[in-house]
């Protein structure tokens, strides 16, 4: 209802009760504070027969006009102060003034430029204005709060999706300045040492943050007391509460401040939320209430984000530690080429197919590819296809639903789901059944898995690295491995060289393992003699790196002294695979020597250490055998040192 419409319904001398009804009706029909006050003061003008009515507020010896209608200047301040103090109507110098009585004591006065009004009636009219004004402000405040809460709810959804604290603080600051009409907003949190407060965001500062002492300014006061604080603009006052060092840092002038504490779920103050320079006037009680609500939601979002950051940092730290333990020792040509290939393919999503003998380090290569990729902070899941029975392999890889088979008491994720954003390493893939191969091929093509007993496709983005020590070409010929799966896996083939073909890398690996195990055994690493080095280089290493690692572990824990000699090297004979045990990188003379050493050792072992029998089996006299062993540098080979078995014969 417009003010003109209201005015037409009012007659001079209207009773206070009728005027109160009109005022309440007016408070319900208007949406803007200025419109309500203009219409209300116009009603007072008509009832009082005055030409001007003013709503004024007195605080700290200063008078502020809230609203005015009609004519009238030169308000009698002494009379106004008397009316405010006495809370009764006063008349003087052509003016009538009365305090606006609200549910709580008010510092507001209603004044009209007429002194012929009945003071009792004017008192009642002022009370009617006060009650209606209070009703309007309460309704308006509730409406604004509802809109504010709706906006906060919408914004906190976005806040809780943030995973970085700096980004979150920027969002909160932008939201609060827009919602509460302030120039700047800063959130202060204690630094990790607890010696100062860090404020972000900080416009105009290179680092994007400001640091202040724990007890500095309004923020320090709020952090220590846990209570909100305000600083109003006052030209005549020094405003000592304001920490002007910050203004100097930012090249900015702080005029008004509203600061509230931020508390976590346990009620502990974790920071302070500060607004600076309200766009219009000083910060109000409504602003404080709104900022408290914002601070409560912001504290939860910040607490959650800090927790997520800690988890991410911890996860990254674990992955970095794991990555630091994965090394590829060696610098032979084959290994240098292998390292270059790994660096090129690591940060792609290409399928990698690793081949090589057992113990050559296929899993180490898979780990290096994973930790050098963008997936390094995600999980690396390794599956040994040879170690899982055919009946369970499909369930392990693709998961199963509850009741899918006899022992499926509950639904279970498969390895593809577990590694959905990471890497899945399928070792010994040549041992997978044809049915499993068919399903694996479908998953690789479609990037979706279906659990055993289920029907819902589940997306997976796992990167697949496969490995085998078998000759898949032969298995394809024998119809034991699918050719289409082989070509799907063989996108980036990597073949690992056997240890016997890596030359001096053998010594590098031996020293690396010896140092590692001696540290665990709490002893100084012994030196490896020249004779021992020669034997290490000459051994065929059927168990490859795994065999060398096990030997160094035994030596680290079981040998005494600070030197490893050739006689300390306890090679373990492995069953023959049908391939030559002589390394292909040896010269013919050295290969012949190695063959003779191996041949003599096997005869001695078969004769259970009886040198006479061993020599006879080789068509030699015992003295010739000792002489040959001495030439081959096979340890203690003096003929006079006859073994115990010969002595007993």
Give per-residue pLDDT as tens, 320-333: 666 667 888 999 99
Q: What is the mean pLDDT of residues 1-11?
A: 37
In 106-216, the DSSP E strands lie at 108-112, 182-190, 196-200, 210-213
Mean of the per-residue pLDDT values for the chain? 82
Q: Provide the sign of the torsion angle of the four alpha carbons 555, 558, 562, 566, taken in this order.
A: negative
- Torsion angle in degrees (nearest 10) through CA of 234, 237, 239, 244: 100
What is the share, in percent, of the chain residues with pLDDT greater than 70?
83
- The reported pTM is 0.54
| Percent share of the chain, pLDDT over 90 | 24
Distant-in-sequence, close-in-space partners of 136: CB < 8 Å, separation ≥ 6: 27, 30, 33, 36
What pLDDT was estimated at residue 645?
41
Neighbours of 508 (CB within 10 A): 16
Please enumerate in sequence order all residues whose Cβ is within 8 A of that of 131, keeping only pairs 6 or more positions apart, or say none: 20, 23, 24, 101, 102
Domains of the chain from N-terminus onward: 3-143 (3.30.450.40), 160-312 (3.30.450.40), 333-497 (3.40.50.300)
Judged against a pLDDT cut of 50, whether residue 305 lies above it is answered with: yes
pLDDT average, residue stretch 571-589:
62
Question: In a 3-state reduction of DSSP, which class is residue 611?
Answer: helix
Find out whether 399 and 420 touch, Cβ atoms under 8 Å. no
pLDDT confidence of residue 648: 43
- Please tell me the distance from the alpha carbon of residue 271 to that of residue 186, in angstroms, as a whole number: 11
360 pLDDT band, cuts 50/70/90, is: very high
Query: Which two tokens mark 218?
Result: 């309004």
Strands 210-213 and 458-459: unpaired
Least confident of 198-207, 398-407, 507-516, 586-595: 198-207
Lowest mean pLDDT among 401-415, 428-442, 482-496: 401-415
Which pLDDT belongs to residue 351? 94
Q: Number of C-alpha atoms within 13 angstroms, CB side, residue 423? A: 27
If we measure between CA atoms, which residue out of 310, 307, 316, 305 comes closest to residue 164?
305
Q: Is the confidence at residue 5, as pLDDT, over 50? A: no
pLDDT of residue 160: 60
What per-residue confidence (pLDDT) applies to 399?
A: 87
Residue 9 has pLDDT above 80, yes or no: no
Q: Identify the band that residue 201 occupies on the pLDDT scale cut at 50, 70 and 90.
A: confident
């Amino acid at each position: 209802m417009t003010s003109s419409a209201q005015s037409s319904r009012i007659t001079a001398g209207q009773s206070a009760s009728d005027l109160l009804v009109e005022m309440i009706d007016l408070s319900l029909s208007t949406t803007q504070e200025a419109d309500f006050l203009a219409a209300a003061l116009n009603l007072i003008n008509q009832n009082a027969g005055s030409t001007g009515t003013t709503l004024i507020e007195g605080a700290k010896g200063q008078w502020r006009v809230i609203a005015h209608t009609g004519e009238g200047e030169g308000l009698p301040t002494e009379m106004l102060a008397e009316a405010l103090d006495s809370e009764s109507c006063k008349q003087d110098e052509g003016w009538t003034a009365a305090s606006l009585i609200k549910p709580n004591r008010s510092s507001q006065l209603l004044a009209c430029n007429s002194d012929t009004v009945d003071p009792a009636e004017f008192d009642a009219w002022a009370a009617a204005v006060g009650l209606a004004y209070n009703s309007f402000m309460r309704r308006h405040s509730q409406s604004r709060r509802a809109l504010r809460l709706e906006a906060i709810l919408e914004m906190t959804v976005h806040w809780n999706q943030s995973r970085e604290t700096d980004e979150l603080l920027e969002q909160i600051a932008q939201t609060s300045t827009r919602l509460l009409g302030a120039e700047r907003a800063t959130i202060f949190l204690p630094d990790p040492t607890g010696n100062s407060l860090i404020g972000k965001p900080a416009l105009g500062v290179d680092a994007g943050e400001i640091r202040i002492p724990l007890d500095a300014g309004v923020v320090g006061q709020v952090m220590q007391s846990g209570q909100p604080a305000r600083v109003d603009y006052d030209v005549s006052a020094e405003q000592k509460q304001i920490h002007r060092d910050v203004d100097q840092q930012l090249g900015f002038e702080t005029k008004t401040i509203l600061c509230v504490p931020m508390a976590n779920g346990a009620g502990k103050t974790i920071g302070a939320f500060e607004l600076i320079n309200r766009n219009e006037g000083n910060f109000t009680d409504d602003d404080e209430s709104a900022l408290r609500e914002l601070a409560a939601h912001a504290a939860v979002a910040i607490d959650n984000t800090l927790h997520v950051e800690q988890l991410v940092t911890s996860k990254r730290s674990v992955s970095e530690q794991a990555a630091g333990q994965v090394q590829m020792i060696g610098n032979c040509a084959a290994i240098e080429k292998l390292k270059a290939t790994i660096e090129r393919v690591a940060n792609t999503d290409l399928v990698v197919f690793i081949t090589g003998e057992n113990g050559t380090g296929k899993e180490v290569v898979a780990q290096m590819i994973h930790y050098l990729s963008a997936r390094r902070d995600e999980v690396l899941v390794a599956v040994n296809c040879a170690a899982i029975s055919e009946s369970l392999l499909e369930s392990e890889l693709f998961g199963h639903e509850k009741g899918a088979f006899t022992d499926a008491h509950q639904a279970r994720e498969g390895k593809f789901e577990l590694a959905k954003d990471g890497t899945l390493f399928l070792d010994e893939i040549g041992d997978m059944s044809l049915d499993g191969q068919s399903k694996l091929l479908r998953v690789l093509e479609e990037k979706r898995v279906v659990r055993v007993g289920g029907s819902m496709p589940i997306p997976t983005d796992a990167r697949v690295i496969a490995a085998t020590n078998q000759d898949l070409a032969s298995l394809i010929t024998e119809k034991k491995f699918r050719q289409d799966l082989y070509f799907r896996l063989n996108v980036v083939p990597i073949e690992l060289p056997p240890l016997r073909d890596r030359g001096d890398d053998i010594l590098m690996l031996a020293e690396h393992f010896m140092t590692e195990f001696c540290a665990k055994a709490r002893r100084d690493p012994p030196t490896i003699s020249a004779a021992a080095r020669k034997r290490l280089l000459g051994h065929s290493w059927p168990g490859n790196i795994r065999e060398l690692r096990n030997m160094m572990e035994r030596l680290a824990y079981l040998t005494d002294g600070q030197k490893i000699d050739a006689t300390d090297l306890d090679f373990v004979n492995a069953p023959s695979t049908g391939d030559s045990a002589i390394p292909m990188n040896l010269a013919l003379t050295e290969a012949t020597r190695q063959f003779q050493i191996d041949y003599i050792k096997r005869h001695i072992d078969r004769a259970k250490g009886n040198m006479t029998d061993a020599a006879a089996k080789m068509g030699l006299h015992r003295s010739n055998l000792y002489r040959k062993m001495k030439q081959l540098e096979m340890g203690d080979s003096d003929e006079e040192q006859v073994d115990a078995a010969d002595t007993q014969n």
